Structure formats: structure tokens, C-alpha cells
Structure 1
Amino acid sequence: MKKLLLTLFTIVCLHTCKIFAQVPKLSSYPSAAATIFLDFDGHVVQGTSWNYMGPIDCGASTLSGTDIETIFNRVAEDYRPFNVNITTDSVKFLNAPLNRRMRVIVTVSSSWYGSAGGVAFNGSFTWGDDTPAFVFSQLLGNNVKNVAEAISHEAGHTLGLFHQAQYDAATCNKITDYNRGEGTGQIGWAPIMGVGYYQNFTLWHNGSNSLGCNSQQNDLEVITDGRNGFGFRVDDHGSSFATSTPASFNNNAFEVKGVIMQNNDNDFFSFNIPATSRFELDAIPYNVGTGNAGSNLDMQVSLYHSSHTLLNVYNPGNLLNSIIDTVLEGGTYYLKVEGRGNQYAPNYASLGSYALQAKTNGLTPLPVRALNLNGKLEGNKHLLNWVIDADEQVVNLRIEVSTDGRTFIPLQQVENNARSYSYQPLSKQSLRYRLFVEFDNGRYYYSNALTLQPHAITGPKVAGNIQANGQFQVLSPDKMQYRLFNAEGKQIQQGNLVAGVNALQVKHATKGMYIIQYQHTNGQQSTDKLLIP
């Protein structure tokens, strides 16, 4: 039986309609055979599963050409990891195989159906009869983000995806068919197959779908498992030091681009600096505006020496982009780019395209033989020490700190002959340090940047004693899901863990062995045992 899936209309119209403009012809991946066509200029639908009451005359959207381009870019980024072409060109659509194409009609005509944001038949991408999906742009207020979210969502239904739902962790009762995600700012997260109108960082998800609490839906697996005739794109950069892509400086700068296509994808780049220099790098996920709007990738960049020694990891907690600002001696270095989760979003589908923009200070050697900052944790204290080896005299020495990995502020002015400093931070969070040093010749320099983190939990693991009433604790290094099974292998409960200490209880506990299964943010699983005495 064909399954009809829709996105309910929950958006208030934000502005009036615009005069319709010529639709720009855009394609995200022209070499792909599988095609999703975004149709903005009207279409008469007939001879499909929708036409039980005759033809449907869909009026053109009233979106401007600029709005259409922004919508296209948002949808294209959602589908960037896959071997599928997102296009506004009808010729590309008509030339695609009949059973590997989908038309998504963005239209003002909604009265024939009702007050939904969009609607689609589940799995219709491969039906081969050009049954389309619909997004009702006026009911979405012609808001470009909401229209784009609805297009990606409805196209997802045609690829076989159901809604990502929310359930009560304790009772497994459904809260809503639409997982709204959590968080704020540019890392505020929601599933594409939930409701992504209200969050910036909307991704594919691995969670319980609308069919039931125990019905786990792995979005990436469903899209690429063969039913739709396409999989992931071919990897564009090597995933090791040996296969790294060389990045060459031109006028003391370089720019390279790439796509993180799977959650185990690492892109490696190599570059060479002839002499000691200040090295700055902006790692920017693809976006359509300020605040990394429309990005699907939370970037983490790691910097390695030619010996493959890790020098530092750059991943500001509340930003999707990353920045490097450090001093490097002459030699060869490597950059590793990967997608990561954050305090709201799981690591599962932080995927998408990016650019690395690097520059140096002109490759002029520093007039110092050494300027190195080191540090360590000792209990709750941060202990810093440094080496300054130069002919000039130090006239200004300052320790700077950053909480987000990109903006440094003064922490402490120290004596010019000081070579160490220790203190106890007020909050338990990762802090990034560097030295500002000014010499008597009027020149100033920055040291390498150093990150000190609170002691990490290496779990997840059951901690402490397990009580006879079933109470126990789990230490978890990150947010993740858990499932609890009895000795017969029957699941008896499930829920979510937060980073840190989690107080849990086995419901209706009886003496015996239980198994707890952890679903890690990278998609892997691990298990632990607990014995109730």
C-alpha cells in the first residue's frame, strides 16, 4: 500500500508574496544520474497517484530568483554527501532515469490538498511514474529557510524515510511525530525528518521514527542502501598522511575545498612553510549567510607536524567553523578535517562541504630562536610555562585566553622575566591559551596556542555500587542513547544519557544480570553489564 506522508503547516506567514522571477538553472552534481528536480515555475500534474480527482494545476511559486537560489543552495547542501543531483533545470530531470528521479513542486496551489507545509508518498522516488512531491510555499510564508527545510523533508519521504519522532525516555510514549531537536544559536540542532524550521543546524538522524519507539531509522542507511539506486559520493580527498592533498601557497595564501561525506570520512591536506611564520587558517563550512546559516557540517580541524605528531585540535564549542592562529617553524605540516557533533547535535550526520582559507605573515623569520608555550592540569589548576629565547629584551608579556577557540582576551599581565603562571579557572571548560610578547625593537609576536581541558570521562561505563532496588549510575563522555536488556535478551527500557553522571534505575528490578547497550554518537555501539544483588 502506498504511504502518504505530509508536513503539517505550523508556520505563520512572515511576509507578503513576491513577484515571480525567472528560475535560475542550477545543478549541485551534474554527473549524477539520480536527480531531484526543484520545480518553481508551475506544473500540471496528471496520470499519477495524486490524480484520483483529475488533473492538478499547480501555480508557480511567487519566490524571487534570489530566493530560489538560496533555497536551492540549502537543499543542495542537505544532499551534498550523496551521489544525487539537486537541480532547477527541467532538462536534467527529464534526462534522468525514470526510476531514479523526483519532481518536488514548489507551488502556491494548496487548496486541493489542505493546510500542510508539504506532502509526499513514501518511497515514490523509484516508482517510475513521475508521481511528484509538493511544498506549499505560501503556507510557509514564502520564508526561504522554511521552504528549503520542507523540500529536503518531503524529498526524504520519497526516498523511503518516515518522520524522526520524539518519545518519553521513561515510558516510551510518543510525544510528537516531529522531533524538534534542541539548543540555540548556530549549533542549535534538529533532524531534517523532524521539524527543522526553528533550528539552524538541521541534519539527517539515526533515531526512533514515527512508527514506534523501538523502530530505529538510520536516515543515511535508508537513503544509500540501494533501494534508491544511488549511494554516497566518491571521496574527494585522501584520508591519511600518505594520501593527503598538497596545498600550495600563492602570495602567502592558499584555499582548498572539500566535502565530508560520511561520519568516518577524514580529509587530509599537506602544506610546507619555508621558515618560521605566523599561520592563520579559517575553516568554513558551506553556508548561505551570517552565523553559518544553512551549514550541515560542524568542523573540527587537527594540525600535525611532519612527524605526524598532533600539535593541536581546533573545534570551538559554540561555532560550526574553526580558526587557527599560531606560529609554526619552517617545515611540512598536515591538516585533518572532519565533521563532529556538539552539545546538541550527535556526531552521526555532521556532513557537508567546506573551504580552508590559509595565509602566513609573508614567511618572514621571527627574530627569536624559541617562543614556546606549554601547560598541564594539576588537580583543578592550570599550570603554564614557556620558553623565550631571543637577543632582544622583553618589554611586554601577557597571557591571553579563549573560551571559544577563536577570540582571545587578556588573562594576566606578567613580569617580563616570568616564565610560568598558575591559577584555578572559575569554570570547568576547555580553555585555550597563548602568549603575547613585545620586544624592545618594537616588534611583537604570539606563541603557539595551547588547549587545556578538564579531565575527561573515558566511558560510558557503569560506576559505583548497584543497589538492590535497581538504582545505578552511568558515567558518559557525551550525549548518547542507551537500551537496557534483561538476562533473556528482552529490551525492558531505553533512554538518553547526558555528558557526565547519569542516575538511572531499573524499573521493576529483580535480582540478576542485565545488559546495557550504548549507542555512541559516531554510530558505534558498546555494552556493559550490571548485576543487581
Structure 2
Amino acid sequence: MEPGTGPSGCISCPAEYPTTTILHVMKKLYSYGMGAALLLSGLAAPAQNRPAAPAFSLGSRQALVRQLQAQVAADIAQRAVPTVELRVAASQIFSGKVNHRQDLGKTGALLAGEIQGVPNSSFVLRMDDQGVEGNIVLKNTRQAYTYTADRQGNVVVQQVDIHKVICLDYDKPAGYQEPAGAGTAANRAAVVSLQSYPGARGCILLDVDGYALPAGTGWNNGNAYNAPSANMTDANVQAMWELVSEDFRPFHVNVTTDENVFNSYPKNMRMRCVVSPGSGSTIAPGAGGVAYLTSFRYNDDTPCWVFMSDPKSGGEAASHEVGHTLGLSHDGRLNPKEEYTTNSNNPNTVWAPIMGAGYYKPVTHWSRGEYSSASQTEDDLVIMAGATYNLGYRADDHSNAVSGATALARNGNSLSGGGLIERTADQDYFSFSTGGGTVNLSVNTVGRYGNLDIVARLFTGSGGLIGTFYTGGGGNLNVSLSANLGAGTYYLQIDGTSSGNPATDGYSDYGSLGSFSISGSAPAGGAAGEATVYKDCNYTGTAVPLPVGDYSLAALQSRGILNDDISSLRVNSGYEVVLYENDTYSGASLTVGSAGNSCLVNNALGASNWNDKTTSLRVRTAAAAFSRQLEAEAANVNNGMTVEACTDAGGGQNMGYVDAGDYLVWNNINFPTTGTYTIEYRVASGASGGTISADLNAGAIQFGNTAIPATGGWQSWTTVSKTVTLNAGTYNFGIYAQSGGWNLNWVRITRAGAARMATAEATTKEQADATDAVEVYPNPVTDRLLLRAAHSLTGSQYQILDSWGRTVLSGAGATHGIDVSGLQPGMYVLRLLSAGNKPVTRRFQK
């Protein structure tokens, strides 16, 4: 749901202008123990939304500005505080007492004040070349009016339900006590300086040491105001900052307590949240916090407010109010009716939505209204990360597949790592090696106020699931695992998960986001890595073992390997290392096989000097390490084939005579790596020749036909082959005689392509342009993945791989998109081959 359309009360405005200002006052709910559950009986039910009255035209923006400015000019000569006529209907005019006015240019003005003679009233009206926005609020009579303008600058005023402009009747509950001295001390000289994401695109300031509100905002009827300090200890400031930081951790925003950091951001990319308990009686009497909806984009430093200094209640209120400034509405219930749900009527759940009232629950999340009887189902994450506020999500910090897994740092037997789950579908993969024995790992979110409910999955080096580890229920967000593993390389997947049933006693994984750390131990040993890189030649200097995986510059540096600092390397048998000149596996490359390289100075492999040149690298199974010759004695044969052992691969001895309809199956053939394999058949034929086909798992995976020529004699051997793409795994391999008849000497399967000892790869601009010209959208996708390309996709072939590299969908013709509705949620890779173009790989999220 887009900002401005939430059922709890936003007014839809023309897309080219900011959404109508909406003032929200958050009920200050706070208590201790079971008393919180009793507060619901005292909550006022939200008013029923009434249809808006007909809009009344006020003419053009320029004419309205001239009219109001003339009234101010005429009136100011007679009295100190001028008034203006605020017409809301043909026969109804309010007299607005102007407490602040500002000339915004020839066609602009800002007016703020109150309705003369009407207690508990206010108005604010901004008119400039960007549009018109404003409102009139009459709290006592439950009336409200909003101002908007169309593309041509024609202004209208319209009476609306007051609950679509300001939330009322949410007083502080009985029994809440502020910490002694809160909001009474003078501004402190210094506040502990904290930042959650230095250099982020946007900024949120927790302002706890007092604030001089300038005149001209919508607060205090447009008057200036000096907000007192919250008088918080550094420890409480730290705790509140931790809570708010973790709530906004997925986004490209820096939560800070430092005024100088805040001032370094442009006005339309920052929000000040003033924490000042002593200001509640002036800004919003009885409230726990207050904010104007969508004010993050106002570009005038209008702040939001929190009137509690307790870290938990004040922190929940701060996230809630900043959420309003980013366009979010309340999370309430329809039955029982409540404006802010606390989930206190369900003692079995430990969760509440941030945009409800999360004071009483240990776990709070952003929400999309999945709980029972939700008053609205807007997508909090999509709204805040959308283009309206220009924040977006943080970049994914770890690969969503084993192919790019980040190696856990090792110090002796100790392992460590960490990361961030920043989107619902994000899964972070890590690799580690062990010499064999007990492996213990703990994965923890932040020490307090965590949002990420963690599930960990442990996989073998070939992708087999060893176990899923989760500590469910009761607000237990962390997880530990212990497993007795053999020597080798393993993978750890970290994911956010759900708890219970979102409709009754739990939550989905939608808002289970945030930071995590990994710590533990695994016995070191000879299997600590399939390759070892050294700082100096002749295998001397700092040595770092590396298991199979991809290592960007950041991944190398996390293991203590500096940029351009590798001089020699050892490689275990059956593996190879590809060194790259640039980060992210680009630029010139050098492939080093199991012979290793004792000195990359004047490289003996013939690819010039590679000393201190490596910026990223890959450790992988050697391309030519796998070769398997299949003999008849290992196969199951049907249809009367004569079977003989193949003892002479060079000729003479038959494996057997193959006739049309014969089917041979070899069980449990292990293909160690994902990639391209060549299937070779050595055959001899008389006059007929024929066709042979191959498959895996009784035809579940088809490799198609291979033509067998007539060799002219039953002992005149020839070799035919077919190249196929296959995911790593163990399969039953079969061949089937489609037609003809021949002697079959052997069948051989080989990993295609010898390992290149040295490669200087250069991609021409034309090739890069052709590759980059393919775009997949929408991303994330729900049902149909669409493709946009500079070249024709007619006749193209596609393959979709899951995070383990397994093919889950394939076909021909992607011109009209690809139906992915049957795929499970997760990360996928699209491999596209179209005529005359290089293969293209694109990643997308379902």
C-alpha cells in the first residue's frame, strides 16, 4: 500500500506533491508486569472513517498567496498578531491567528497558528512552487480540513475525518512514572556520540540533550519552543540508540546521537527525533510521542517527538514516530477495536508490531498486518525503502548461495563471523573447514532489543543438509549447534525465521531482520583448506588456509590477506585456484593447479609477473579432475544384451552388443561439481549405425540423442560424444538405444575442459554492452519474471538455478517472460543463452 492510502488515516494527494500533512499523536502506554494487559479496556475505539466532504475550490496557488499576504499586510498595521481568513466552504470562514509567517518568494508563503477563539485548534499552510500542503485541526469539535493542489496549481480545501489527520484521546495510562529528574535538567554539554551506519544515505538523530525548536513548523502553533534535555545517563542513551538502530538496521540510514553528524546530511534526508519528557504538556499533552506523517521528506527539519526517557518505552516510541515520518500508519485491530495493538490480549505471544504499541513485548517488528483482525495491511518495509524517501535497503553483505560463501575467520580452533539479514528473503552463507571432530557454533543477534529470530542450517561440502537448528518460541532469538563432523569443508546458512502462527500467537519471518554474530570452534587440521596462500615466495611468511569458495577483497582482508600481497601458494590434489587482478573476480586471471606455485615473481607458469598482484580469488575443484569410465559389469541391463567386462579400452573386447530398446543403468554415480561434462561412447557398427540417448534417474533429467555412425565393421571403433550441463550430486546414469545396433566398448564421463594454467581475460566493450543490456524485472518477483534486452530474445534458452546451483526450471523462449509462480521464495540465478550473444547470468529474488 502506498503512503497516503492507509486505512488508519492518510489522505491521498496528487503524486507530484507531498501527501497531505497528517499529525499523529501516539498514546503513551506504559506499565509494569500484568498491568499492561488491563490497559486495553481503557483505550478509546477509533472513530469510523466518514466519507470526505466535497472539495471546495480556493482558486490558483498564486491567487491564494496574494490574498493571504494582503490580509496580513493590512492587519499587521493595526495589531501585533495578524489574522487571515481561512475559507473552508462557500458560507464558512475561520479566522486564523498567525503566530508565524514566512515569505517563500513571489508565489509562496508559510503560515502557522491557531483558530481565533477556538481552544485546542491549530493550522499550518505551506504554499510554494512545489505545491500546497496544510491542515486545520479543531480537536474539541472533532473537525479537520486538509489543503491540496493539482498539477495546474489549483487549490482545494476539504473537510475530512479528524482521525485521518490527528489521533486523539490517547492519554498516558495511570501508573506510569518518569525516571527522577527526566526533562528538568539544563542541556548537557556533551552526549555520547553513536552511529549505526556512518556514511549511510539518510540519517535519524536521537536528540536527547534539549532542542531549540524554531518558529514556523507545525508544532506549538507555529511558535518557537525550547525543549528541555531528557537528562538521560550515557547508559540509557546507549540502550535507546541500540533499540532504534536495530529497528532501522535493514535500511540505508544512520541512527546517531551526534548533532554534527546529523547536520552533515541534507534536510530532505534526515529526521530529528526529540526525546524530551518535559515537552509533552506543550507539544502534545498526555502523549507518548507525536509525528507528522511523511515529514521525513518535508525538507524543513520538522522534527518528531518522544516524551519518555526510559530506553525500552522511549525507544519503541522513537521507532514508531520515525516510522510515521516515513509514511507508516497505525497497526491496530478491528475487533476488538483499537488504534494501536499491543497484543496484550494474547498472553501467549511475545510479539507486537512497531506501529502498534510495542512497550510490553520483548520482540517487535515492522509489520504487514498478518495478525488477527488487523486494521490495515500496508507493507511497512516497502513503504520505508521506496523511492519516496530515497533510503532503500543496505547492500547484501554475504552471498545467498554456497558458490559465494564467506569463509569464517579462524584463529587456531576458534571460528568467528557476522552479518546482517536485511530483507525477508535474504540468506547468508558461510564456509568453514575442520580436521574432524566436534564443531560448536553459536549464532546470536544483538544482546538486547533484537528483531532477528535466527535459524541456522548446516550443509556438507556437496550441499547435503546435515541439520536445521532453531530455538523456538518465548522470544528466544539465538541458536547454538553442535555436530561431530568428519574432516572437510562445510557450509553454514543463516536466515531469519518465524515463530508460532502469525494469526494467533506468533509472527512470520517478514520482519525478522537484523544483525547477527557467529562464534565457536572447529578442530583445525590438514583439511583446514584446499589451498594455502603465502605472503612471501617459497611458501614462507604469513600462511592462510582457504577452503573451497569465492573470496572478494573484503573476504580476503577479513582473513588477514592484504590486497596485492600473495607471493606463493599450495593447492591440494584435485583442486585449483584462480587468481584475479581486480576485485569481484575481474581483470586478468591466473589459474594455478595442484602443482602450486613457489614464487609468483616472474611466474613460472608463463603469465608474466603475478607477485603481489592478486585482489580476489576462487578456490574450486579442478576442472579436469573428474573422469569415470563405466563398464558393463557395473550396470543393470535389460532386453537381452550380452554383457562382457571391458578389459581393453583400446579395442577388441566388447562391453556388449547393443540393440534397439536396450537400456543400461549405472547406479550411484557421483558428479563432484556443478558444470559441463562430456559423455563419450566408444562404438563399432556394421552398416546400420543408429541413435543413442542418455538420462539421469530413470529419465528425470534428459540429455537428448547422440547419432552413432556406421563404422563399416564390428571391430572398427569410433568415439562419439555429447556435452551436457549437470549439477553436482549422486545420480543413476542410464543410456538407451533409440535405434540401430552396435558393439559398445566403453562409456566415459569426463569433467569438460582442462584447467587453464594462465589466462589474461579481456572483455571488449561490445561484449560487455551486450551482456549488460539484459534486465530482469520486477525484482523481487511474484509470478512472472520479465526480461528486457537490447537484442532479440527469440529462440533463447533459459535455465533457473537455486542457491545450491540446482536447475529448478528451464525452457525455450523468454520473449514474453518466464512463469516463476511455482518456485519457492528465495534467491535464484537466471542463465540466458540467446543466438549470437554471450551467455548472460542474472540474480533475482522470489
Q: What interval of TM-score do these two structures reach, taking the shorter chain for normalisation?
A: 0.5 to 0.7
Which position in structure 2 is the counterpart of 1:347?
Answer: 509
User: Which of residues 204, 227, 244 in structure 2 aligns to 1:75?
Assistant: 244
Which position in structure 1 is the counterpart of 2:656?
Answer: none
Aligned counterparts, 1:110-125, within 5 A: 110-112=280-282, 113-125=284-296
Which position in structure 2 is the counterpart of 1:331?
Answer: 488
Q: CA deviation at 1:262?
A: 0.5
Which position in structure 2 is the counterpart of 1:41?
Answer: 209
Deviations 1:326-348 (A, max 9, x none): 21110000000000010112211
Call closer, same or farther: CA 1:214–1:37 in 2, change over 3 Å.
closer
SS of the residue 1:73 aligns to: helix
Call closer, same or farther: CA 1:310–1:91 in 2, change over 3 Å.
same
Whether the aligned pair in 1 keeps the contact of 2:415 and 2:522 (CA below 8 Å) is: no
Q: CA deviation at 1:363?
A: 6.0
Which position in structure 1 is the counterpart of 2:223?
Answer: 54
Aligned counterparts, 1:105-184, within 5 A: 105-107=274-276, 108-112=278-282, 113-137=284-308, 142-168=309-335, 175-181=337-343
Whether the aligned pair in 1 keeps the contact of 2:439 and 2:485 (CA below 8 Å) is: yes
Q: Which has the larger radius of gyration?
A: 2
1:228 equivalenced with 2:389 (yes/no): yes
Output the TM-score relative to the length of structure 1.
0.63
Aligned counterparts, 1:293-312, within 5 A: 294-312=449-467
Q: CA deviation at 1:214?
A: 6.9
Inter-partner Cα distance in structure 2 for 1:143 and 1:77: 17
Inter-partner Cα distance in structure 1 for 2:222 and 2:305: 17
Whether the aligned pair in 1 keeps the contact of 2:421 and 2:427 (CA below 8 Å) is: yes
- Count of residues in correspondence between the two structures: 350
SS of the residue 1:235 aligns to: coil
Whether the aligned pair in 1 keeps the contact of 2:409 and 2:417 (CA below 8 Å) is: no
SS of the residue 2:402 aligns to: coil
Which position in structure 2 is the counterpart of 1:359?
Answer: 521
Tell me whether 4-13 or 123-132 shows the greater mean CA deviation.
Answer: 4-13
Inter-partner Cα distance in structure 2 for 1:184 and 1:345: 14
Call closer, same or farther: CA 1:51–1:92 in 2, change over 3 Å.
same
Q: What residue identity is the alignment partner of 1:282? A: S
Call closer, same or farther: CA 1:251–1:23 in 2, change over 3 Å.
same
Call closer, same or farther: CA 1:231–1:314 in 2, change over 3 Å.
same
SS of the residue 2:519 aligns to: strand
Inter-partner Cα distance in structure 1 for 2:212 and 2:462: 63
Inter-partner Cα distance in structure 1 for 2:179 and 2:291: 26
Which position in structure 1 is the counterpart of 2:356?
Answer: 194
Q: What residue identity is the alignment partner of 2:177? A: C
Tell me whether 240-249 or 214-223 shows the greater mean CA deviation.
Answer: 214-223
Deviations 1:96-132 (A, max 9, x none): 1211111000012221120100000000000000000
Whether the aligned pair in 2 keeps the contact of 1:5 and 1:122 (CA below 8 Å) is: yes
Call closer, same or farther: CA 1:255–1:213 in 2, change over 3 Å.
closer
Inter-partner Cα distance in structure 2 for 1:63 and 1:2: 31
Q: CA deviation at 1:54?
A: 1.5
Which position in structure 2 is the counterpart of 1:316?
Answer: 471
Which position in structure 1 is the counterpart of 2:24?
Answer: 5
Inter-partner Cα distance in structure 2 for 1:329 and 1:184: 45
Whether the aligned pair in 2 keeps the contact of 1:347 and 1:522 (CA below 8 Å) is: no
Whether the aligned pair in 1 keeps the contact of 2:458 and 2:490 (CA below 8 Å) is: yes
Tell me whether 147-156 or 86-95 shows the greater mean CA deviation.
Answer: 86-95
Q: CA deviation at 1:33?
A: 2.4
Whether the aligned pair in 2 keeps the contact of 1:277 and 1:364 (CA below 8 Å) is: no
Deviations 1:244-289 (A, max 9, x none): 0011321201210100000100000000112x2111011101123x
Deviations 1:192-216 (A, max 9, x none): 000100001100000189xx96742
Call closer, same or farther: CA 1:214–1:61 in 2, change over 3 Å.
closer
Whether the aligned pair in 2 keeps the contact of 1:303 and 1:313 (CA below 8 Å) is: yes
Q: CA deviation at 1:184?
A: 6.1
Call closer, same or farther: CA 1:215–1:149 in 2, change over 3 Å.
closer
Which position in structure 2 is the counterpart of 1:24?
Answer: 192
Which position in structure 2 is the counterpart of 1:258?
Answer: 419
SS of the residue 2:441 aligns to: strand
User: Which of residues 228, 234, 237 in structure 1 aligns to 2:398?
Assistant: 237
SS of the residue 1:207 aligns to: coil
Whether the aligned pair in 1 keeps the contact of 2:434 and 2:524 (CA below 8 Å) is: no
Q: What residue identity is the alignment partner of 1:345? A: Y
Inter-partner Cα distance in structure 1 for 2:295 and 2:280: 20
Output the TM-score relative to the length of structure 2.
0.40
- Identical amino acids, percent of aligned pairs: 33
Deviations 1:504-533 (A, max 9, x none): xxxxxxxxxxxxxxxxx989xxxxxxxxxx
Q: CA deviation at 1:164?
A: 0.7
Whether the aligned pair in 1 keeps the contact of 2:331 and 2:376 (CA below 8 Å) is: no
Inter-partner Cα distance in structure 2 for 1:299 and 1:269: 15
Inter-partner Cα distance in structure 2 for 1:208 and 1:131: 32
Whether the aligned pair in 1 keeps the contact of 2:369 and 2:375 (CA below 8 Å) is: no
1:268 equivalenced with 2:429 (yes/no): yes
Unaligned runs of 5+ in 1: 169-173, 289-293, 366-520, 524-533
Aligned counterparts, 1:454-469, within 5 A: none
Inter-partner Cα distance in structure 1 for 2:524 and 2:461: 21
SS of the residue 2:369 aligns to: strand
SS of the residue 1:345 aligns to: coil
Inter-partner Cα distance in structure 2 for 1:15 and 1:114: 18
Deviations 1:20-53 (A, max 9, x none): 8641111111111211111011111122121425
Q: CA deviation at 1:362?
A: 6.5
RMSD: 2.4
Inter-partner Cα distance in structure 2 for 1:269 and 1:9: 43
Q: What residue identity is the alignment partner of 1:197? A: Y
Whether the aligned pair in 1 keeps the contact of 2:351 and 2:364 (CA below 8 Å) is: yes
SS of the residue 1:109 aligns to: helix
Deviations 1:337-364 (A, max 9, x none): 0000101122111000000102136769
Higher relative contact order (CA 8 A, sep 6+): 1
Aligned counterparts, 1:375-454, within 5 A: none
Unaligned runs of 5+ in 2: 1-19, 31-175, 501-505, 528-823, 827-846
Call closer, same or farther: CA 1:16–1:361 in 2, change over 3 Å.
farther
Which position in structure 2 is the counterpart of 1:370?
Answer: none
